[in-house]
Structure 1
Amino acid sequence: MPARLTDVLTRHAIETPTPIQRATLPDALAGRDVLGRGRTGSGKTLAFLLPVVARLSGGPRARAGAPRALILAPTRELVAQIDTALRPLAAAAGLTSCTVFGGVGQNPQVVAIRRGADIVVACPGRLEDLLARGHCSLAQVKVTVLDEADHMADLGFLPAVRRLIGQTPAGGQRMLFSATLDRAVDTLVRQYLSEPAVHEADSAQSPVGTMAHHLLHVERDNRLPVLVDLSSAPGRTVVFTRTKHGAKALARHLNRAGVPTVELHGNLSQNARTRNLDDFHTGRASALVATDIAARGIHVDNVALVIHADPPADHKAYLHRSGRTARAGNSGTVITLATTEQIREVTQLARAAGIKATTTRVASADHPILTTLAPGARSLTSPTAAIPAETRTSPARRTPVGGNHGAEPTPRTGRRRGRRPAGNHNHRAGRATASRPPTATALTSSPDHEAGPSPAERSRSRPSHSAAMFSARRAR
């Protein structure tokens, strides 16, 4: 490895290569096509970033709109994580990089590519759009990397991936990394890799030795209290649900109970995803409720606990979800909650994943196994102090320049349909007495503001002259 890159690794306390890195780096640095398989959290990202940066170092600068290396990933979150790991390496080598993905405006991405980005980290859909509009060309790409190839196949991205790789020069180096090597991945290998060096650092079912697996048999009524107890323990917790609506609802319930929680799922804008992940990274939120969109590509240090609130669809999803903990040699605990109807399904799933989980029947949130699995004093904030999940999914409210900062909004009332309220000839005074509770107060006073105002609030929100108007109409 070039000394300037090893210096970067040393500053990040990375001194010993992982098995997948040890296996693939010699061939990747030599310029060979590489097919690498390693489980989630095994260090695949550095296994391809280090040779990409090393091979581009000292070469000509990228032309405007023509990157020299392309890294494809299936999700925005994985693109962002790769870019985070890439930036210090690229800076040490004097290279530039940019990210390309949907859900945000494309103009900053176009500007970055036109400036001459050496390395582009992209999701297939947005990159194809930029190519079609003439903002980018792949004709100068020297190294192409496909990360999480099996997940690309699961999401239906393979046609786009084929079109993109087909636009890169045939003689360039191509590296394909995946957690599993299934039939769809094999098709890509045969079509685009030339005599690749194949390395499998571990088996597809290889469990992480520092990861403990537990199955808690709970009844449906006890599911939420158990989740509240576990997620309020010290440390970071990632909770997985099957559906987007389930993730939103569970995040709302945890916030109500006093567990600072954010959500991550496909219904959120990119800005909301980024903001919520930042809250989880920085510790403002201690729990993250997510769908399988977070099962890959989300790396947060020191995640102590992964909870499958809903059992995953298959054993591959179980392994990827569980891989959010016990990363880079650290220890972690994985807990699956299952009702009586789900026990058989979860047992078969664990067997397919090569996992031996300890099963415990839990009748209530007072069961001693919960403090054994998630030790430490439980910490619950007041519901109003917790992060309201709903308000974290939309942009913050803006006050116009020169507006009423911090004051209640001025109510807008007056005569309805040109009628003057009976018995009140001074309609200006009538307007002055009308009031409406401020929206900001309603949002912060109730974590479930989507349910609407309470009856008391509704009564307070009615204009004071409405009863007189009603009486006058009846009299007429």
Structure 2
Amino acid sequence: MPTMSQGRSERPQFRKPRSNRRPGQGNRRPAPAAELTTTIPEHVESTMPEGPLPSFAELGLSDELLRALEQAGITDPFPIQAATLPDAMAGRDLLGRGQTGSGKTLAFGLALLSRLTGGRAKPLKPRALVLVPTRELAMQVEEALNPFARSLGLWCRTVVGGTSFPRQVDALRRGVDLLIATPGRLSDHVRQGTADLSEVMFTALDEADQMADMGFMPQVRAILDLTPQDGQRLLFSATLDGDVDKLVRQYLHDPVVHSVSPPTGSVTTMEHHLLFVSAEDKQNVVTEVAAREGRTIMFVRTKHHVDRLAKKLRSMGVHAGALHGGKAQSARTRVLGQFREGSMPVLVATDVAARGIHVDDVSLVVHVDPPADPKDYLHRAGRTARAGQSGTVVTLVTHDQRRAVQGLTARAGIRPASAKVRPGDEELVRITGARVPSGIPVVEPEVPVRARRGGGGGGPRRSGGGSNGGSFGGFRGGRSERERGGSSGRPRRVAQH
């Protein structure tokens, strides 16, 4: 294990000589087998200094960004922002570990925008890149960073699947300073010559461990190979191990490591409960919990179960929406918008879709189906208790699931309280706020269907993006939009965010 220097910045004693290769021409540098010890400590304590956190002004942000932060009502930095901004703005490669909701978006976003100040993008050549695992997360990152980009006169745009490819090309041709993208759609643009990454001097990977879990690493590596080798790279992740560690070896130069959270477990404002229920009582317990007040996310394993449970809840009077990869992007965006606004307080989702849910004020997360592994538990749980708020995580456990779930929570570093509950129990009400639903079915408003231009022709239309097939370099690897459930074999409906 590499020794770590003490102080605010913990730096792995890991040196890789810079290659003499020209920028953008094969950046990967495989380590010899003898050097395959990890570059990342198994446990990195918080690198925050003791005492009060510095202000945004003390962190060196420009007056324009300070005014934009004040207008947005953001007065004090979160620990991950205070820890990483000085090094990131100084041009260091950086690893940042923090649970979702810890403020990572502004940590890398403000640093990238500061570095971009004063420059101008050329057509089809973005100057900075943010890679994220899901469409929803990309859109939310753009929403979070756009006000600050505008304050500096910079253009921030999103490139994701399920939305109009030609509109994305138009935006790229006008010049994009900061491009936020999912690996699959960006691969499509590179392959078709509508995105040139040779001038991307600043790259951030957000939720890198989730991109690894979703099979995106081959595409991520191929994308990084096309960026200048001497560019700055920031990597943010809830965990820094496995495939993420390999990525660090190949693409980051002498990275500074900052952590504001342990590698397992979760934030102290989060309560964890195992609720033991009989198979016969489970549906009624789920319905009563869903009828509570406040934002609630319920996780199940399959798309079919998502649709079935959301329909059941609506029939019982609960305003619930369904979110999974099999839905059109327009439907996913609409449902997530209703959930964020509060008009639909219950969201039923699968693991993959939920990785794009970054909504504040979610007070309860329910594992209707227990997760498959500790990482999934922590990612699901991270939808609540965000930004210092409190939250509750409940796992419903039937008799045959007890041993597996207890082992899973132990491996996740969680010590949940346990209780046996039935519908209407006081303990169920105390923990979750459960109540009897109204029983009056929720009527779904009709969504107008836009007429297809051209009057007829039932044949498939070109979406412009296509799948991630083809033989363009490393882009043969990874998972395509189709494989992730983002589209099917039918013609894709083009939707605008």
- TM-score computed with the length of structure 2 as normaliser: 0.76
Partner of 1:157: 216
Partner of 1:122: 181
Which one-letter code corresponds to 2:300 in the other structure?
T
Which one-letter code corresponds to 1:304 in the other structure?
S
Pick the aligned partner of 2:348 from 286, 289, 302: 289
Pick the aligned partner of 1:380 from 433, 438, 445: 438
Are positions 1:396 and 2:448 aligned together? yes
Whole-angstrom distance in 2 between the partners of 1:352 and 1:11: 43
CA 1:399–1:94: 2 relative to 1, 3 Å:
closer
Unaligned 5+ segments in structure 1 are: 401-476
Pick the aligned partner of 2:81 from 10, 21, 37: 21
Partner of 1:35: 95
The question of whether the paired residues in 2 share the 8 Å contact of 1:295 and 1:323 is answered with no
CA 1:277–1:342: 2 relative to 1, 3 Å:
same
Partner of 2:284: 225
Secondary structure of the residue aligned to 2:298 is strand
Partner of 2:427: 369
Calculate percent identity across the aligned residue pairs. Answer: 50
The question of whether the paired residues in 1 share the 8 Å contact of 2:315 and 2:439 is answered with no
Are positions 1:312 and 2:364 aligned together? no
The question of whether the paired residues in 2 share the 8 Å contact of 1:40 and 1:296 is answered with no
Q: What is the CA-CA distance between 1:103 and the residue it aligns to?
A: 1.6
Whole-angstrom distance in 2 between the partners of 1:397 and 1:131: 32
Secondary structure of the residue aligned to 1:250 is helix
CA 1:125–1:73: 2 relative to 1, 3 Å:
same
Identify which of structures 1 and 2 has the higher relative contact order when contacts are C-alpha pairs closer than 8 Å and 6+ apart. 2
Are positions 1:259 and 2:311 aligned together? no
Whole-angstrom distance in 2 between the partners of 1:297 and 1:36: 19
Whole-angstrom distance in 2 between the partners of 1:117 and 1:199: 29
Secondary structure of the residue aligned to 1:238 is strand
Q: What is the CA-CA distance between 1:379 and the residue it aligns to?
A: 5.6
Q: What is the CA-CA distance between 1:190 and the residue it aligns to?
A: 0.9
Q: What is the CA-CA distance between 1:154 and the residue it aligns to?
A: 1.1
Structure 2 counterparts to residues 288-437 of structure 1, below 5 A: 288-362=347-421, 364-375=422-433, 380=438, 382-383=440-441, 385-387=442-444, 396-397=448-449
Q: What is the CA-CA distance between 1:315 and the residue it aligns to?
A: 0.8
The question of whether the paired residues in 2 share the 8 Å contact of 1:239 and 1:287 is answered with yes
Structure 2 counterparts to residues 163-182 of structure 1, below 5 A: 163-182=222-241
Secondary structure of the residue aligned to 1:328 is helix
Can you list the C-alpha shifts for 1:198-224, whole angstroms capped at 9, x where unaligned?
112221114211111111100112111
The question of whether the paired residues in 2 share the 8 Å contact of 1:234 and 1:379 is answered with no
Count of aligned pairs? 393
Partner of 1:55: 115
Q: What is the CA-CA distance between 1:337 and the residue it aligns to?
A: 0.2
CA 1:271–1:399: 2 relative to 1, 3 Å:
closer
> Which of these two proteins has the greater Rg computed from alpha carbons?
1
Can you list the C-alpha shifts for 1:32-57, whole angstroms capped at 9, x where unaligned?
11111111111111110010011111
Range with bigger deviation, 2-11 or 104-113: 2-11
Secondary structure of the residue aligned to 2:337 is helix
Can you list the C-alpha shifts for 1:143-197, whole angstroms capped at 9, x where unaligned?
0111111111111111111111111111111111111111211111111111111
Q: What is the CA-CA distance between 1:118 and the residue it aligns to?
A: 0.8
Whole-angstrom distance in 2 between the partners of 1:53 and 1:101: 21
Whole-angstrom distance in 2 between the partners of 1:145 and 1:235: 34
Partner of 2:166: 107
Which one-letter code corresponds to 1:209 in the other structure?
T
Secondary structure of the residue aligned to 1:306 is strand
Q: What is the CA-CA distance between 1:386 and the residue it aligns to?
A: 4.1
Can you list the C-alpha shifts for 1:10-61, whole angstroms capped at 9, x where unaligned?
23332222222122111001011111111111111111001001111122x1
Unaligned 5+ segments in structure 2 are: 1-60, 453-497
Range with bigger deviation, 287-296 or 320-329: 287-296
The question of whether the paired residues in 1 share the 8 Å contact of 2:209 and 2:244 is answered with yes
The question of whether the paired residues in 1 share the 8 Å contact of 2:325 and 2:353 is answered with no
Can you list the C-alpha shifts for 1:96-116, whole angstroms capped at 9, x where unaligned?
111111122201111111111
Partner of 1:147: 206
Which one-letter code corresponds to 1:240 in the other structure?
F
Q: What is the CA-CA distance between 1:374 and the residue it aligns to?
A: 2.9
Secondary structure of the residue aligned to 2:262 is coil
Whole-angstrom distance in 2 between the partners of 1:154 and 1:106: 26
Whole-angstrom distance in 2 between the partners of 1:266 and 1:207: 27
CA 1:399–1:27: 2 relative to 1, 3 Å:
closer
Whole-angstrom distance in 1 between the partners of 2:375 and 2:443: 33
- TM-score computed with the length of structure 1 as normaliser: 0.80
Which one-letter code corresponds to 1:366 in the other structure?
G
Partner of 2:154: 95
Pick the aligned partner of 2:134 from 60, 75, 83: 75
Range with bigger deviation, 122-131 or 1-10: 1-10
